[in-house]
Amino acid sequence: MINAEAIERLRQEGERDGIQKIVVGAIIERDGKVLILRRSPKEFLAGLHEIPSGTVEPDEGLLAALSREVHEETGLAVIGVRRYVKAFDYLSGSGRRTRQFNFLVETDDGEIRLNPAEHDEAIWAIPETAEFAALNLSSETRACILRSPQCSL
């Protein structure tokens, strides 16, 4: 499994790099497919496809935030974190320097329940297919997904 101390050091590195906002993202795979969410029309970056992700609260650990965000955005419970995949930086809607740490996670087999204020569609997509290529994913998110083990199927 994953070393929680090493994960928390990632956050410290981000702070030393001048990162102002920390976000976590979850790559959730089932049967060779990855869960992709589409941002709702009234959200910042409406229509963008993304993995479940969200802001780490002050004094909240990265892995705790990961579990919380997955549950809030999908209704699924994280039952394990398989590995850290990679991070990428971007400017948030408020112009803050943001770093998103992405993890390959295991969840329960529950039904997806979206918060319609945040996401209006959930898609199970097979990486490296035409359907996946057609999704409106950022290049950074696409690269994270393609670095995950399920892409070697």
Instruction: Give the pLDDT of residue 147.
Output: 79
The pLDDT of residue 149 is 58
Structural domain of 79: 4-152
Look up the CATH number of the domain holding residue 27. 3.90.79.10
What are the residue ranges in the chain where pLDDT is below 50? 150-153
Model confidence pTM above 0.85: yes
The 10s digit of each residue's pLDDT in 76-87 is 999 999 999 999
Pairing relationship of beta strands 119-125 and 33-39 according to DSSP bridges: antiparallel
Rounded Cα distance between 16 and 2, Å, is 23
Domain total in the chain: 1
Alpha helices in 17-146, H assignment, sequence order: 62-74, 130-134, 139-146
What pLDDT score was predicted for residue 1?
Answer: 62
